[in-house]
Every structure is written in structure tokens, then in C-alpha cells.
Amino acid sequence: MTLSLQEFIRRFLLHVLPRGFHRIRHYGLLANSNRRDNLALARELLHVAPPPSGESTDDASAVPAPTFVCAHCGHAMVVLQVFLRDNSIRAPPQP
């Protein structure tokens, strides 16, 4: 398909969000909030056995894997502070 320059720019700009808007891509069948339930339902409807879980309930001394891992060195990161949604982080922290 060959488009004129103006038509190409027009179609391209249909995908650009206005300033202040953010694209949210966490939706659909594998959205994080519904992933477990949707996959279980899909497996049930397709009559597929669930995958074997890699966790063993016998080993009580097992240390869970760290949630956050440094991409540079591979060590576990420590959460120092959690910002709540209603708190503004635009100003410097109060002493």
C-alpha cells in the first residue's frame, strides 16, 4: 500500500496520546490481576492438566527467591520506602 505523506502522518498521529496521558497495556486474557483465574479456566475448558508446580511444601527451611534483583550485579535489592498512591513525590522529602 502506498500512502501520501499527509495520510501517513495522519494515521501515525492517531496512535500518539495527548500530553499527560499514559498508555496502559495491562489488559486482556493474561492481565496480571486475572491471569491465574483466566489460565485455570482456559485449562479447564481445553481439558489440559495444570503444569506441575515447582514448589515443594515439604521443605520448610527453603528461602524464597528475592522479589527484586539488580539487573547489573544480580544481588537482591532491599525495599527502603514504598510510595502510596495518594502521596505526592514531586517535592523533596521532609527531614
Q: What is the tens place of the pLDDT at every residue in 32-57?
A: 778 888 888 989 999 988 877 765 55
CA-wise closest residue to 46 among 56, 38, 58: 38
- For the entire predicted model, the pTM comes to 0.32
Percent of the chain's residues with pLDDT above 90: 16
Q: Is 91 helix (H, G, I), strand (E, B) or coil?
A: coil
Cell numbers describing residue 88:
505526592
Q: What angle do CA 28, 33, 39 make, to 5 degrees?
A: 65
Residue 74 has pLDDT above 80, yes or no: yes
Q: Which residues share a beta bridge with 76?
A: 69
Per-residue confidence (pLDDT) for residue 45, from 0 to 100: 92
Residues with Cβ within 8 Å of residue 23, at least 6 apart in sequence: 17
Q: Which residue has the higher pLDDT, 60 or 45?
A: 45
